[in-house]
Amino acid sequence: MTPIHAYIAGTGAYVPPRIVTNQDLIDAGIDTTDAWIRSRTGIEARRFAADGEGPSDMAVPAVRDAVESAGLQIEDIDFIIFATLSPEHAFPGSGCYLQAKLGLPGIPALDVRNQCSGFLYALGCARGLVSSGMARNVVVVGAEKHSAAMDFSTEGRAISCLFGDGAGAVVVRGSEDPRRGIRSLRLGADGRFADALAQKVWDTRNSPFIPTDADGRGIVEKDMLWARMDGKRVFRSAVETMIGSVVSTCRENEIEVAELDLLVCHQANLRINEYVRDQLGMPPEKVPSNIEKYANTTAATIPILLAELERDGRLKPGMNVALVAFGSGFTWGCAFAVW
């Protein structure tokens, strides 16, 4: 039996039309400056979704874009994997809502909750499904609506300046051609640092899982309501882990880092990615970014950037491409593909 090689057949993206600049955040009452945000993060603006628009809504146009790019019809999709840290509800998952909106009743829908590395974890699942023959055409989505769950006060500026809304998607298919495809995918986690970047809106170790007042209304304290981050710890761990992951992935595939045509990094902080780039000795044109326009869209950053690169002609068939991400958990991943 000829082995099936999973490959990314199509890419798609969607970002909401509303542009929110750094100055817009300042005008809303956050005590910061445009220069401060740019110098520390590289972010100039981000997109915010409209009220009533959720991650599965943003995923629909991204998926349709990816399916068209793959030369398929929506009806050809037989599995959905949805990576997000901002689902519409605690349950059910956003994948089921997306399935209904795409008009695909009956096909499996799986949610992946690995935050900034969620897209790569989901891509690993899709690779396994296709390579094993369990699925033929898998949609992998990363979609986030951060704007609904951030503290837009000066106290919350360390988080609220960093994130935006958006969705990206790819279609993973199988091929008998060994010259292309996702050659390797390395994943990892270190739960010792899980609290370094977390949002603990509820705690099911306690009963009730959200404290209530005398009338039964939920009361969420600020420390639980908003995300918290140990920025120095995250920065240090991110650069060390991403560099190590790329080097290990190249070694596994018997290529030099210099032989990579593109390194597509999770767009969390431009300074992190510049440090990774410089330590790996890669030129800027091989490590593209779009964080300046969209900020950190968590699980959506890599597929949004892939879609832009493909549309711009910077991502071409036959290229050696590495995808790398690091995020809350701590979790991380690195994939190598021949496009």
Residues known to be catalytic: 116, 266, 296
Beta strand spans in 134-276 (E)? 138-144, 166-175, 181-189, 197-198, 228-229, 262-265
Of 129, 78, 128, whose CA–CA distance to 99 is shortest?
Answer: 78
d(CA 157, CA 215): 33
Burial of 290 (0-12, 13-18, 19+ CB in 10 A): middle
Task: Provide the token pair at 33.
Answer: 């400056």
- If you ran DSSP here, which 8-state letter would residue 212 be given? B
User: For residue 334, what are the β-bridge partners?
Assistant: 186, 324
- If you ran DSSP here, which 8-state letter would residue 2 be given? P
Taking each helix axis from N to C end, the angle separating 231-252 and 270-280, rounded to the nearest 10 degrees, works out to: 40
